[in-house]
Amino acid sequence: SFTHVDKEPVIVLVTGAAGQIGYALVPMIARGLMLGPDQPVILHMLDIEPAAEALEGVKMELIDAAFPLLKGVVATTDVVEACMNVNIAVMVGGFPRKEGMERKDVMSKNVAIYKAQASALEQHAAADCKVLVVANPANTNALILKEFAPSIPEKNITCLTRLDHNRALGQISERLNVPVSEVKNVIVWGNHSSTQYPDANHATIITSNGDKSVRELVADDNWLKTEFQSIVQQRGAAIIKARKLSSALSAASAICDHMRDWVHGTSTGTWVSMGVCSDGSYGIEPGLIYSFPVSCQNGKWSIVQGLKIDEFSRAKMDATAKELIEEKSTAYTCLELEK
C-alpha cells in the first residue's frame, strides 16, 4: 500500500561466497529466508583472489534473479570493503574438509584466517553486528574470532550447530514416522564435530493432545544412545563420502534458521542449538564456544536453564568440552607457528 514504509536494508556479509555453501546461501538470503519476507538486504560477498572471477559470476546471477528484496550486491576480495558497516556476518570462508581429512588438518589453515578477519570486523562492522561462524573447526574459529575482536560483545559471536540440531530432528522424524515440523527440543551439546552430543532426552513430539516425550515414544533407549548418536555425529562425513563434497544446501538452510531465530526469536516453549560463549552454565568452562540449547527474544539468545542432566549425558557433555579445550590449545599453537 502507499502508506507502507520500506524498512532500511540490512547489510549481510557472506565470506567464502564463491564456494558451494555460498552459492546455496546467497539466493536464500536474497529471497528473505534469513531475515524475513519484508526485510530488504544488501549482500557483501567476500572471497579470495583465485575465486574472484567465480565470485563475479555469482554477482551476475544475483542480478539476473531480480530478487525484489535485494537492494545491492558488493563482490570483493578486499576484507575491509567486505566488512564495512555489516549488520550480520556469516563467516563461511575457509578450506573445507575433504574425504580422508581430519578436522585437525583443516585447523591450521583456518584459524589464521579467523584471527585476521576478527580485526577487520572489529574495526569496520556495525557496532551491534551479529556474527555466525560456519567454517570448520567452527567452534574454535569462533573462539579465535572472539579473542581477537575484544570490542565485539561476546554474545554477538556464535557458531553453527543448527545443522546438527536439524539432523537430529530429521532422524527422530524418520524413526517415529512423524513430520519433522512436529519434532522439537532436541539438543546438540558441545563441538560441531564427531564428539558432539545429540541429546533427545528433553525432545517432544507435538500432537493434538499436547507434547509427547520422544524418549517414551522411541521406547528404545539403546537406539538413542547408540545409532542415533553415531548417525548425527557422522552425518557430515557421510555427506562428504556420498557427494565428495561437504554438505551445502542443508548447511545454507541451517544458517538461515540460526540467524532468523536469533533475530526474530524462537517460539514459546521451543529451543534451538547454537554454539555460544559459555557463561559456565551446565558446568561448561566459561569462555569456550560450546553448543547449548538456547531460546531467543528481542535479538538476544539465552541458554535454557534447569534441564536435568543424567550421568550418560554428563559424561558426553564433558567429553566434547574436553575436545574443545584441546582444540583451543592446538589453535594457539598453530597461530604461534604462523608468526
Look-up of cell digits 550447530: 161
Among 15, 140, 291, 295, binds ligand NAD (CB under 6 A): 15
88: contact with ligand NAD by CB under 6 A: no
The answer to whether the beta carbons of residues 74 and 45 sit under 8 Å apart is yes
The answer to whether the beta carbons of residues 18 and 49 sit under 8 Å apart is no
Order of all β-strands in the sheet with 210-213? 183-184, 204-207, 210-213
Among 47, 147, 257, 327, binds ligand NAD (CB under 6 A): 47
92 binds, among ligand NAD, ligand LMR, none (CB under 5 to 8 A by kind): ligand NAD
User: What does 46-94 look like in DSSP terms, one character per residue?
Assistant: E--GGGHHHHHHHHHHHHHTT-TTEEEEEEES-HHHHHTT-SEEEE--S
x/- string (CB under 6 A) for ligand NAD, residues 146-165? Answer: --------------x--x--
263 binds, among ligand LMR, ligand NAD, none (CB under 5 to 8 A by kind): none
112: contact with ligand NAD by CB under 6 A: no
236: contact with ligand LMR by CB under 6 A: yes
Contacts within 8 Å (CB) and 24+ apart, 26-29: 26/58, 26/62, 27/62, 27/65, 27/67, 28/252, 28/253, 28/256, 29/256
- Between 190 and 236, name the residue whose CB sits nearer to ligand LMR: 236
Q: Hey, what's the cell of 305?
A: 536453564
Q: Which stretch binds ligand LMR (CB under 6 A): 19-27, 80-88, 235-243, 314-322?
A: 235-243
Q: Give me the phi and psi of 189, to 5 degrees please.
A: -95, 140
Residues labelled catalytic: 192
- Between 16 and 32, name the residue whose CB sits nearer to ligand NAD: 16
239 binds, among ligand NAD, ligand LMR, none (CB under 5 to 8 A by kind): ligand LMR
135: contact with ligand NAD by CB under 6 A: yes
- CA neighbours within 13 Å on the CB side: how many for 321? 19
Residue 16 counted as an annotated binding residue: yes
**Binding residues vs ligand LMR (CB under 6 A):** 97, 136, 163, 236-237, 239, 246-247
Annotated binding residues for NAD(+) = 16-22, 47, 110, 134-136
Which residues form the interface with ligand NAD (CB under 6 A)?
15-16, 18-22, 46-48, 51, 92-94, 96-97, 113, 134-136, 138, 160, 163, 192, 246-248, 251
